[in-house]
A = this chain, B = another copy of it.
Amino acid sequence: MGNGGMTRSGGTARSRRPRLDDVAARVGLSPASVSLVLRNAPGPSEATRERVFRAAAELGYRADMTASLLARHRTNLLGGMLDVRNTFHAELVDHLHEAADSVGYDLVLSTVTRTRSEDRAVETLLDFRCEALILLGPEAPTARLAALDRLQPVVIVGRRIPAGSMDVVRSADQAGVGLAVDHLVELGHRDIAYVDGGKGTIAADRRRGYRRAMRRLGLGDRVNVIEGDRTEDSGIRAGQMLLRRRLPTAVITFNDRCALGLLDVLIRSGVHVPGELSLVGYDDSPSAQLAHISLTSVGQDALKQAQQAVAAAVERLDHDRRAPREVVLPPRLVVRSTTGPPPDSQDRPRQR
């Protein structure tokens, strides 16, 4: 403890980081051998391995990654672009790390923020010589993404991309909203509104899912899309609007955040959920799962998405797959306490 002795001018004396040579010198071997041992490459004898590992541990040696990366042809690095404020991305990242780990890749992260564009985030990843990029919900135009894919493998997560131009992993959003509609109709609802998620591919998909499902179930004339975006505020606005006019018996929202905003308005106005109105969110986010909120929601399987994304990248890198592939995962409806039969009214289920 403490830094005994003299310190050089400026800055506390920090011990020079040990290098490969230092380890080699300590065990009396060549740097080459040490390198082989530390990377578990075949060659060195068991006895040698032992000695090297001990010496490395004693010195606290860690390979200088920049040097390794430079010397190695491969970097074994995957680059992940995300929005650090998106909770679903957070979940994905968690699983991405695991998935990458398990196939011997490292994952380096780069986030989009208010002031940091997707381009900038991607540049950073390229700078680190990532071998493949996993982009979570990118908003760049397809052409731009395609151009990037020409440089190196790109996996798009969570967003639909026009047919076969690159690897995509996403959940079937359209079908997901369909599940929600089905569920509500089964409960007897007919007057089902949808709070929209604004522009964007994902929002478009979910909106279409709602419209199609309604039509499929013969409720085409009841379609009711309420303007909104991806925030709680839009749920709040939608709620206030609905209260001013006339409540439907059920509402599906673009995502959980929106649903939570809406739910808040309803509860404060004394509307009983699900007694007077049923509500379905989308994302099955942690807040939806809270015991007291217990929001019925459509869940995307973050774990599987992450695994598939990493698998896609690895296939391109290590298994010569060339044809782009789209993985569409089935969403699942998680029924909790915000959905139930509609209140008695002319909207009760018709006897068939």
Contact = CB atoms under 8 A, between A and B. Distances in A.
Interface in A139-176: 150-152
A346 interface: no
A327 to B, nearest CB: 19
Given A236-B290, A264-B293, A290-B261, A128 B66 contact: yes
A12 interface: yes
Interface residues of A, number: 61
A298 to B, nearest CB: 21
Nearest to A85: B90
Contact of A98 (B15, B115, B233): B115
Interface of A: 3, 10-12, 14-15, 17, 62-67, 69-70, 75, 82, 84-85, 87, 89-91, 93-94, 97-98, 106, 108-111, 113-116, 123-124, 126-129, 150-152, 232-233, 236, 261, 264-265, 267-268, 287, 290-293, 316, 320, 322
25 contacts: A3-B150, A11-B316, A11-B322, A12-B150, A15-B150, A62-B127, A64-B129, A66-B67, A66-B75, A66-B128, A85-B91, A94-B113, A94-B114, A94-B115, A97-B111, A97-B113, A97-B116, A108-B108, A109-B110, A232-B287, A236-B290, A236-B291, A261-B290, A264-B292, A267-B267
Given A10-B322, A66-B69, A84-B90, 11 more contacts: A12-B322, A62-B126, A64-B127, A64-B129, A84-B84, A84-B93, A84-B109, A85-B90, A97-B111, A232-B287, A267-B267
